Structure formats: structure tokens, C-alpha cells
């Protein structure tokens, strides 16, 4: 199954941006980990990152059209982008919302997600391991559906 791992604004700066919050793993290393684990799990993982909201919406439309699963870190758009929320609501496959930091232990404005209500599940605060857990969940969910 095709799985899009989609990352929003500023996530291309992983490894250099606020390492006390987001850690030292680079975006390139995150992509490599996701693709490698995906292959082990029998998933066709494609990772993308953008700082442009409209581009993210187009990618979500593409995922909906392909009936693909999505692992999404909407980053700052989590808290206010109704456009992303509406695009996520069109998805046909599982959607796992991922946040590297524990957004619930941070500033008040970060504690609300407009995406969570349409997500299959949410993983927050486990660092980049959250992405790997999301991929494992998707693989298990697909295996269960096939049996």
C-alpha cells in the first residue's frame, strides 16, 4: 500500500531548529528511517515536506485520489488550517497525525488541533519515533483488514 508521510512548515529544518524541542535527527535521516521501515513492513512510503500550505492540500488530494494512507505532521497548520482539515476529511485511507514534541505540554495555542477530529489516531511527544509507530500502526491495520 502507498503511504504518504507528509510534513508541514519548518520540518525541513529538523536537526538545526530548536533541537531542545525537536531533537537532533535531520529531515534526511527521518526520511531514510521512514522509507526503510516502510520497505520492511511492505509499505510503499513516500516522504514529502513543504512550507506552502496549498501544496500540502494538493498532496492530501492526491492521497485521497490514490486511496493512500497518510502520516501527517501538519506542524503550525495543526492549530488553524481549516483548508488542511477539510482536505484530510476527504481521505479514504488511514490518517495518523504525528507531532514530534508533546504539544499538550507546550504553549496554550499548540494544545488544539483542527486535524485530530478527522484523524484515525494521533501520536505526540515521542520524537521522530512517532513516525515509525504510525507506519507500524498502518501496516497492522492493513494486515487486519486483509485477514
- Domain extents in the chain: 2-100+112-146
Residue range 51-80, pLDDT digits in tens: 999 999 999 999 999 999 999 999 999 999
102 labeled binding residue: no
- Residue from 22, 27, 104, 131 carrying the catalytic annotation: 22
110 labeled binding residue: yes
Q: Please say if 80 is a catalytic residue.
A: no
Residue 97 near residue 75 (C-beta atoms within 8 A): no
101 labeled binding residue: yes
End-to-end CA, the chain? 15
100 labeled binding residue: yes
Which CATH superfamily is 2-100+112-146 part of? Answer: Dehydroquinase, class II (3.40.50.9100)
Q: Please say if 131 is a catalytic residue.
A: no
Residue range 1-51, pLDDT digits in tens: 899 999 999 999 988 887 777 778 899 999 999 999 999 999 999 999 999
Amino acid at each position: 500500500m502507498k503511504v504518504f508521510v507528509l510534513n508541514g512548515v519548518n520540518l525541513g529544518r529538523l536537526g538545526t531548529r530548536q533541537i531542545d524541542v525537536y531533537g537532533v535527527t535531520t529531515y534526511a535521516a527521518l526520511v531514510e528511517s521512514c522509507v526503510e521501515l516502510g520497505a520492511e513492513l511492505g509499505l510503499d512510503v513516500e516522504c514529502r515536506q513543504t512550507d506552502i500550505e496549498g501544496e500540502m492540500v494538493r498532496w492530501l488530494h492526491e492521497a485521497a485520489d490514490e486511496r493512500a494512507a497518510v502520516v501527517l505532521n501538519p506542524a503550525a497548520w495543526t492549530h488553524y488550517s481549516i483548508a488542511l482539515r477539510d482536505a484530510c476529511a476527504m481521505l479514504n485511507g488511514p490518517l495518523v497525525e504525528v507531532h514530534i514534541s508533546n504539544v499538550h505540554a507546550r504553549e496554550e495555542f499548540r494544545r488544539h488541533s483542527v486535524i485530530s477530529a478527522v484523524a484515525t489516531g494521533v501520536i505526540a511527544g515521542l520524537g521522530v519515533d512517532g513516525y515509525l509507530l504510525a507506519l507500524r500502526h498502518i501496516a497492522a491495520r492493513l494486515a487486519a483488514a486483509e485477514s
